[in-house]
Amino acid sequence: MDLTHRPRRLRQDRIRGLVSETSLEPSDLIAPVFVDATTDERIPIESMPGHERVPVEEAVTRVEEVLETGVGAVMLFGIPGSKDPGGSRAWADDGVIQEATRRITGETDAYVITDVCLCEYTDHGHCGPLEAGLETAHDHAARGAERDPADREATVTVDNDATLTALERIVTSHAAAGADMVAPSGMMDGMVGVIREALDREGYEHVPVMSYAAKYRSAFYGPFRDAADGAPAFGDRRHYQMDPANRREALREVSLDVEEGADVLMVKPALPYLDIVSDLRREFDHPIAAYNVSGEYAMLHAAAEKGWLDLESTALESLLSIKRAGADLILTYFAEDVADRL
Ligand code: PBG
């Protein structure tokens, strides 16, 4: 047979590596770590097998485990000792993230990125204080009995500009504790700009901002909300996180973050949003991060547990695909397992 084109020529074992377009390295990965001020022992997270909430005392040990696999960067999430309507434990000097960051940066070489958001710290679970006139979680629950849920949801609005003031406090407290990078995830308008200004004003001009620039209102965050205890007590996040239906809007959102000084641009979730990763790769020269979220992790684990999918190969294929779409770095709960394997 006289075929001119035989793509299979380049699929032989000894040439496949040379022509491979994408590779996955431990240095591409960031491991999320949960630090919990309400416990003095490690608590397994049921919907995220292999992950735990660790007490502040164990934060260093936990990060050392990550470093041993070859992953050099961690993203810290905190569960505070107490919550209030304004989320004030988020910027406390002796807050859970501030304490953990101080210890980790003091005792290890890990590159510490802190999640900057209020949803784990407010008693209502929204990503900022609610607009004046809106009730507290308690009032809401009490009134819930006599109102239908759709009605209640309609009333929930986070006060954008009051949240910005809180974010300034949070980032400067994280930077003061030694955070190497801050990652605002609340999808508030103008957040990157005020954070950049606050860091510069306080002498932290060397601290980069990784913006959750295109963060969608996704059902794939479910397991995380159990893990970080940050589920909204009422309503949802559709008034601040992006509508999954929108692709062009992501470019507008991300352009604003670029103008405001974001150093790294993140898309979240990853697998259902690879078109967005690919769009950002084409439109911007910044490093692009993708967050392979809790639900993406949980579904592979659940299928593997049933014997329906092979965990290791589906995890590797997922991460490789996220890189192929254009991500430079990936936040993933698979970081340690995959790095170990690589
Ligand atoms: C908080 C935050 C969330 C996640 C990261 N930061 C949850 C949310 O927006 O509800 C989700 C991470 C995951 O699912 O792995 N703003």
Q: Which H or E run includes 313?
A: helix 311-325
215 catalytic? Reply is yes
Distance CA 62, CA 184 (A): 23
The answer to whether the beta carbons of residues 117 and 185 sit under 8 Å apart is: yes
* d(CA 127, ligand 1 centre) in Å: 10
User: How many helices and strands (H and E) does the chain possess?
Assistant: 13, 10
pLDDT given at position 229: 77
Q: In the structure, which protein residues have their CB atom closer than 6 angstroms to any atom of ligand 1?
A: 115, 117, 119, 127, 185-186, 221, 224-225, 230, 293-294
Question: What is the DSSP code (8-state) at residue 262?
Answer: -
* d(CA 225, ligand 1 centre) in Å: 7
268 catalytic? Reply is yes
Instruction: HSE, CB side, 13 Å, CA atoms: give it for residue 335.
Output: 31
pLDDT given at position 233: 81
Three-class DSSP category at 201: helix
From the candidates 83, 215, 306, 323, which is the catalytic residue?
215
Nearest atom in ligand 1 to 292's CA: 15
pLDDT given at position 272: 98
Instruction: Give the relative orientation of helices 191-201 and 160-177 as an angle to the nearest 10 degrees.
Output: 40
Q: Which two tokens stand for residue 174?
A: 């994280």
Q: Which two tokens stand for residue 177?
A: 């504790």
pLDDT given at position 145: 45
Distance CA 102, CA 262 (A): 24
**CA distances for 7 relative to 1, 16, 19, 20, angstroms:** 15, 11, 12, 13
* d(CA 293, ligand 1 centre) in Å: 8
For 23-341, which CATH class?
alpha beta
Q: Which two tokens stand for residue 144?
A: 């819930």
Distance CA 75, CA 116 (A): 10
Cα 178–chain centre separation: 19
The answer to whether the beta carbons of residues 78 and 97 sit under 8 Å apart is: yes
pLDDT given at position 225: 84
Nearest atom in ligand 1 to 120's CA: 1
pLDDT given at position 140: 55
Question: What residue ranges of the chain have pLDDT lower than 50?
Answer: 145-147
What b-and-e string marks burial along 119-154, b requiring 16 or more CB atoms within 10 Å of the CB? Answer: bbbbebbbbbbbeeebbebeebeeeeeeeeeeebee
